[in-house]
Amino acid sequence: MLAINHYNLSGPPGALDPLSNLSQWDTEMVEMESLAHQGNLTSDKPMSGGPITAALSMTLGVISNIVALFILANAYSHQRRRSKATFLLFASSLVLTDFFGHIIPGALVLRLYLSGGVFPEAAAASSNGSTDPMCQFLGGSMVFFGLCPLFLGCAMAAERCLGVTQPLLHSSLVTTTRTKLSLSGIWLVALCVALLPCFQLGSYTYQHPNSWCFIKVLANDTQEADVAFVTLFSGLGLTSLGVALVCNTISGLTLVLARLRRRPSGYSSSHSHRSVTKSHDIEMVVQLVGIMVTSCICWSPLLIFGFMSVMRSYRGSIDKADMATYETLNLMGVRLASWNQILDPWVYILLRRAVLRKIYLITKRQADLNGSVLRRWEGNSFQSKSSENNPVNRI
């Protein structure tokens, strides 16, 4: 409309030339589209299905964590074994942390989606050191609720490894009070790491497409403090995953060897008690392996891509094409990491002993049914063939 009103009949004689009008029209439209694209860069991408996806993801995460919390609370209230009670306390803390980690950052990200993100000027000011309270809180929340599940998974794996390999030492060291102190220590360490930018060690900035905040990993002015902060965050996360992998491997191998060494004997009460104990240990180790695999799949990309991005950004060896690639990788990494808080509750819900037993019985019943049908079919086939070969039947 503005371009059409600009070129009217009362203009200069040159404006009556159709070719000149067309070229000026095209130039003006290109400039206006470029300006509009720059102004709406942060609103187009977040709004393309963003609010609906974020709302559905938050709803699914809330429902999953609430169901898991209800099951864990019910199991904890009826639990008599101390080792199982300790595991349930850790698992309840993990699910509770995932619940708040899904609600708090998710609500802020959803608000940014609905508002169309932030303007490039605000994002640039935040990247240059300007304090944005919302960005700082969102970035700190993502770091805190990102480290807590990894720390808790590592602590649970270490506790089960001690319980499987050294049960006597575990019974004397692990108590409910010490478990609660360990949980408080884990939350405190994660909080201290998240608050490091308050002491000028690292910073939080808006990330592509300016709809979420995280550690500054891609910038032209990356400092040593940013590299140290990202290295600390990625190092702690990958170390937790590595320790959990080692502990779960030791626990699994120990249970497998104990199963292979067990010899058939009379079914006494002590033998039945040991069988129940081993079944509880197997159930807990299977759940821990599921939690570890889920955490590795969901968190490893963000931890690795973040470290690679900040190192290349600090060395100045990243161009515009690489910048877009790393922005996309980090965005994919944080979206994948957000699914960890949705899948963790389902790992516990689906890998419980009662559920696994039902799946086993259904599978066994189906296999027996197929086997009986196959045997009946084979018997009928053989009978028909034998009857055909019998001369009396032919007569």
Going by pLDDT thresholds of 50, 70 and 90, the confidence category of residue 14 is very low
Count of CB atoms situated within 10 Å of the CB of 326: 21
Average pLDDT over residues 81-105: 87
Residues 240-262 pLDDT 10s: 999 999 999 999 999 888 878 76
Residues 355-367 pLDDT 10s: 877 877 888 777 7
Q: What is the pLDDT of residue 373?
A: 55
Residue type, 6: H
Higher pLDDT among residues 238 and 365, named by residue: 238
69 neighbors 98 (Cβ within 8 angstroms)? no
pLDDT at 40 over 60: no
Higher pLDDT among residues 117 and 7, named by residue: 117
| Residue 151 lies in domain | 50-262+278-369
The DSSP code for 14 is G
Residue 39 within a domain: no
Q: How many helices (H) and strands (E) does the chain have?
A: 15, 2
Residue 23 within a domain: no
Residue 36 within a domain: no
The pTM assigned to this predicted structure is 0.75
Going by pLDDT thresholds of 50, 70 and 90, the confidence category of residue 394 is very low
What is the pLDDT of the chain when averaged over all its residues?
76
SS (H, E, C) 176-204: HHHHHHHHHHHHHHHHHHHCHHHHCCCCE
Q: What is the pLDDT of residue 328?
A: 85
Q: What CATH number does residue 148 fall under?
A: 1.20.1070.10
The DSSP code for 267 is -
CA nearest neighbour of 322 among 311, 333, 334: 311
Winning range, highest mean pLDDT, from 130-134, 136-140, 315-319, 390-394: 136-140
Domain count, the chain: 1
Residue 256 within a domain: yes
Going by pLDDT thresholds of 50, 70 and 90, the confidence category of residue 45 is very low
Residue 194 within a domain: yes
Residue 359 within a domain: yes
CA nearest neighbour of 340 among 87, 50, 61: 61
71 neighbors 348 (Cβ within 8 angstroms)? yes
Residue 4 within a domain: no
pLDDT at 102 over 80: yes
Of all residues in the chain, what percent are helix, strand and coil, respectively (each to 5)? Answer: 85, 0, 15
What's the chain's length in residues?
395
> Can you tell me the distance from the alpha carbon of 102 to that of 341, in angstroms, rounded to the nearest whole number?
7
Residues 162-215 pLDDT 10s: 999 998 898 888 888 999 999 999 999 999 999 999 888 888 988 877 778 888
Residues 132-155 pLDDT 10s: 788 899 999 999 999 999 999 999
